[in-house]
């Protein structure tokens, strides 16, 4: 799958303008399960902090994961007393399930979540969401592993967190520093397209979402946080770690097989520096040239090592043919994946067959050069042979790149763009309005400042209690994709989370 060949479905990021009233800019979700003791102090503290420090209108959503104690009653009481709080009840467990369901139903342009224990210092909340409001980033995460973070927790949890981070870096090439910190935010337009790709419904949900976003080229902003661990946490470390490792294997397998449509998340040209057009240069040529040169340099070294090894026990022509054959197969595979961005096994055999044709042309050039050298000198030095082969390979490399780009891996950008464009609504970059979910023709205008006057109108959802799978208007429609906030296996009674 070519993740860089599509203009994508996401519009260019824009700063969210401030206004006077209307839809909240920020929706903070607090997923809870049997938290009757901590829920009220947490919500009151968060509500007070946002009232005092947050410059936009906000909402706090309590996502109850099938609690069996008095948590639902506490949630409803808080929703009735505080106009910025609403209660959301799910009948199944799972933090990931709660976040996907509530985020899918929310109309706020910036979505966040934090754990009920409020282990993270709330002063990091505004720095967390500011890059999303400004249009600089797509997602934001709190990091307990950043250099400037201050963390108070036991050595056991510290070891597990850092070990898990090393596993992600080694297996999934993750570059973010802290996947499991319960302090994250995402732009709603990104969530609409990203969340349907995330399968996990438990604690691995965060990691899977971040890995897919990073692989798709989305920008992830990290905020160092002050963190005090909750000694009364109900998280089962062994079970969570086991499930996370299973998730790492599943996501790694999907990424290796190219089965994930990450090109849906591509930003338009000009928004990502990698996509900016260079005058008089075809799109993607500059990046492909760099990748081809790197692969070509490594392939040349590999070829020369093979030639020197084969030359010990055979003639120059046979050694050249064997070395060129082996290095050509490796070169085609590397260029297929790294230079031209082709993923998965589809067409691999055809590409290798075409690569062998290109190899034959290179063989003719290098063999002809050796034949000419042997004609000029009956016993040329080994260094002279290598110099001639390098010159011949340079000429063959230029021809190989042209054949790869025009014949083996042709650029189908225009065809892909046509298909995607037919499903993407028109977007005017200069417009300050944003489409509302479920109302293709409706827009909410400038986004609101938080009302400060006493007796301000209460939100229409103040006492509403929504069920899982049901949005405020009873639908899951969206202008870009059909949202599936709850997957079929979400109702699996065997899931204990």
> How far apart are the C-alpha atoms of 236 and 244, rounded to whole Å?
12
pLDDT at 358: 82
**Is 0.85 surpassed by the pTM of this model?**
no
Between CA 87 and CA 90, with CA 88 as vertex, the angle to 5 degrees is: 145
CB atoms within 10 A of CB 261: 14
Q: Which of 6, 2, 4 is nearest to 342 (CA)?
A: 2
> How far apart are the C-alpha atoms of 108 and 101, rounded to whole Å?
14
Q: Which of 150, 259, 272 is nearest to 197 (CA)?
A: 259
The single residue listed with the structure tokens 């230079």 is 339
Between CA 28 and CA 35, with CA 30 as vertex, the angle to 5 degrees is: 160
3-state secondary structure 244-292: HHHHHHHHHHHHHHCCCCHHHHCCCECCEHHHCCCCCCCCCHHHHHHHH
| Residues ≥6 apart with Cβ < 8 Å to 376 | none
Q: Report whether 31 contacts 55 (CB < 8 A).
A: no
Can you give the pLDDT of all 497 residues of the chain as single tens digits?
Answer: 333 434 456 777 777 766 545 689 999 999 999 898 889 999 999 999 999 999 899 999 999 988 899 999 999 999 999 999 999 999 888 888 999 999 999 999 999 999 888 888 899 999 999 999 998 899 999 988 888 888 887 777 778 778 887 888 778 878 888 887 889 999 999 999 899 989 888 888 988 999 999 888 889 999 999 888 766 655 566 667 777 788 888 888 888 777 777 776 766 544 444 444 445 445 567 777 878 888 878 888 888 888 888 888 888 888 888 888 888 888 888 888 878 877 767 778 888 888 888 878 877 887 888 888 888 887 888 888 888 888 887 887 788 788 888 888 886 544 444 333 333 333 343 333 333 333 333 333 445 555 544 444 443 333 334 333 344 444 433 333 333 343 444 444 444 44
Bridge partners, residue 56, by sequence: 449
pLDDT at 450: 52
| Residues ≥6 apart with Cβ < 8 Å to 239 | 496
408 three-class SS: helix
Q: What does the chain come to in residues?
A: 497
| Residues ≥6 apart with Cβ < 8 Å to 278 | 285, 286
pLDDT at 423: 39
Cα–Cα separations (whole angstroms), residue 253 to 93, 249, 344: 26, 6, 11
47 sits in which H/E element? helix 39-53
Q: Which of 335, 337, 339 is nearest to 284 (CA)?
A: 339
Q: Can you say whether the dihedral through the CA atoms of 35, 36, 42, 44 is positive or negative?
A: positive
Query: What's the helix, strand, coil split of the chain in %, to 5?
Result: 50, 15, 40
Q: How far, rounded to the nearest angstrom, does the alpha carbon of residue 269 sit from its chain's CA centroid?
A: 18
Q: Can you say whether the dihedral through the CA atoms of 226, 206, 218, 469 is positive or negative?
A: negative
Q: For residues 261, 264, 269 and 274, what is the CA-based torsion angle, rounded to 10 degrees?
A: -40
């Amino acid at each position: 799958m070519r993740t860089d060949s599509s203009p994508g479905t996401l519009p260019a990021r824009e700063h969210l303008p401030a206004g006077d009233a209307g839809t909240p800019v920020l929706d903070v979700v607090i997923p809870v399960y049997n938290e009757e003791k901590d829920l009220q102090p947490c919500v009151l503290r968060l509500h007070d902090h946002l009232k005092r420090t947050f410059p936009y209108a906000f909402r706090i959503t309590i996502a109850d994961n099938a609690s069996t104690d008095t948590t639902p009653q506490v949630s409803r009481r808080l929703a009735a007393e505080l106009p910025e709080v609403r209660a959301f009840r799910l009948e199944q467990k799972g933090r990931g399930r709660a976040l996907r369901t509530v985020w899918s139903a929310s109309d706020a342009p910036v979505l966040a979540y934090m754990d009920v224990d409020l282990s993270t210092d709330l002063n990091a909340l505004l720095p967390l969401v500011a890059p999303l409001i400004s249009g600089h980033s797509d997602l934001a995460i709190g990091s307990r592993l950043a250099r400037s973070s201050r963390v108070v927790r036991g050595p056991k949890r510290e070891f597990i967190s850092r070990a898990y981070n090393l596993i992600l870096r080694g297996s999934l090439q993750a570059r973010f520093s802290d996947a499991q910190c319960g302090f994250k935010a995402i732009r709603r337009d990104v969530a609409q397209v990203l969340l349907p790709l995330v399968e996990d419904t438990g604690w691995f949900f965060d990691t899977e979402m971040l890995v897919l976003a990073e692989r798709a080229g989305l920008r992830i902003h990290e905020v160092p946080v002050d963190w005090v661990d909750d000694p009364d946490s109900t998280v089962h470390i062994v079970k969570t770690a086991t499930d996370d490792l299973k998730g790492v294997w599943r996501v790694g397998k999907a990424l290796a097989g190219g089965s994930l449509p990450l090109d849906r998340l591509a930003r338009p040209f000009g928004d990502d520096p990698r996509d900016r057009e260079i005058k008089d240069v075809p799109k993607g040529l500059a990046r492909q040239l760099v990748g081809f040169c790197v692969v070509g340099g490594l392939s040349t070294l590999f070829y020369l090592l093979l030639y020197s090894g084969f030359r010990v026990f055979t003639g120059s022509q046979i050694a050249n043919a064997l070395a060129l054959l082996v290095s050509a197969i490796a070169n085609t595979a590397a260029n297929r994946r790294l230079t031209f961005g082709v993923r998965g096994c589809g067409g691999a055999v055809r590409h290798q067959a075409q690569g062998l044709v290109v190899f034959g042309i290179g063989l003719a050039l290098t063999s002809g050069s050796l034949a000419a050298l042997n004609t000029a000198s009956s016993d040329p030095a080994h260094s002279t042979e290598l110099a001639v082969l390098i010159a011949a390979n340079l000429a063959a490399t230029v021809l190989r790149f042209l054949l790869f780009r025009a014949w083996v891996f042709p650029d189908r950008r225009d065809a892909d763009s046509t298909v995607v464009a037919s499903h993407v609504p028109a977007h005017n970059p200069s417009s300050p309005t944003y489409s509302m979910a479920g109302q293709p023709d409706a827009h909410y205008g400038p986004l609101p400042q938080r009302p400060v006057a006493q007796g301000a109108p209460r939100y229409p959802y103040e006492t509403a209690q929504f069920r899982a799978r049901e949005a405020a208007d009873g639908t899951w429609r969206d202008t870009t994709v059909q949202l599936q906030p709850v997957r079929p296996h979400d109702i699996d009674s065997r899931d204990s989370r």
